[in-house]
Amino acid sequence: MTEPIAVLGAGVMGVGISTLLAGHGLPVRLVDHDPEKLTLAPERIRRELRMAQLVGALPPGREQGRVTGHSDVSAAGGARLVIEAVTEDADLKSAVLAEVSAGTAPGTPLVSNTSSIPIDELADSLPRPGDLIGTHFMNPPALIGTTEVIRGARTAEATLAAVRGLLQEVGRRPVVVSDAPGFVTSRLLHPMINDAARLVQRGTASVEDVDALMQGCLGHRTGPLRTADLIGIDNLVDSLWVLLKRTGDEGCRPCGLLLRKVAEGHHGRKTGRGFYEYEESTR
């Protein structure tokens, strides 16, 4: 029997990563202390699996892996690999990773799915920093074929090999980058989205026109503001604060429009409203 993958956090990214794994036949233990999230997760995973199947993003004819819900991180014990996908907060991630490390066998790869926090910073909380590596799955993970992999200064070769192998097993192309705040994707994308929101805030152009120009003239697949809705505007703002603190780049200071949307609860697709409105939320 295949050893399960443990996924910590049943939010948007935890559910998305679980969908990707289950869609490729792997068993998943989805862990979250919030009973409401665990209750909602199975239907959300079924919905995302249906979408991935409709667009041909999953292997045809493969039996789906079973996803089981758990309320305690002790469920990560015995897992083949652990993927942490909790809120983008360095202290919270460090605490969760330290707890998991204490309950898993040495050499078990611990993967922090983060958009901006340096992996070596998180590794300071672990007794075995070589077990830790970073990934930055894009949302939705089951539909995006490339995954950024962040190798920390102390990440062991065996940890890197295990993560590369898993990603290839589920049909993703791993691209390994060195550790730095925001890595490559967020360091480029998130300040750009911030600038796009500033243009709307200043009245230079509408949300729709900013996205239309970026799509039609510059080849951005979805447009920066629609992308912000997909990321989650609250998550985007958290990432920008991380980048500002760790780089000093004032271009990463979240603009007023982003902060206002977070304060109003308009976080994007997951809440049903962000820069655009959606028929249903994904929370």
Unique residue bearing structure tokens 């780049």: 249
DSSP assignment string, 201-214: HTTSS-HHHHHHHH
Residue 220 annotated as catalytic:
no
Distance (Å, whole) CA 53 – CA 108: 31
Unique residue bearing structure tokens 């929101």: 197
CA dihedral of 239, 107, 157, 124, whole degrees rounded to 10: 40
Distance (Å, whole) CA 64 – CA 59: 10
Q: Which long-range contacts (CB under 8 A, 24 or more apart) does 122-128 make?
A: 122/90, 122/93, 122/94, 122/97, 122/152, 123/152, 123/153, 123/154, 123/155, 124/94, 125/94, 125/95, 125/97, 125/98, 126/97, 126/98, 126/101, 127/101, 127/102, 128/101
Tell me which of 24, 33, 70, 136 is the catalytic residue: 136
Distance (Å, whole) CA 106 – CA 123: 14
φ, ψ of residue 59 in degrees (nearest 5):
-65, 130
Residues with active-site annotation: 136
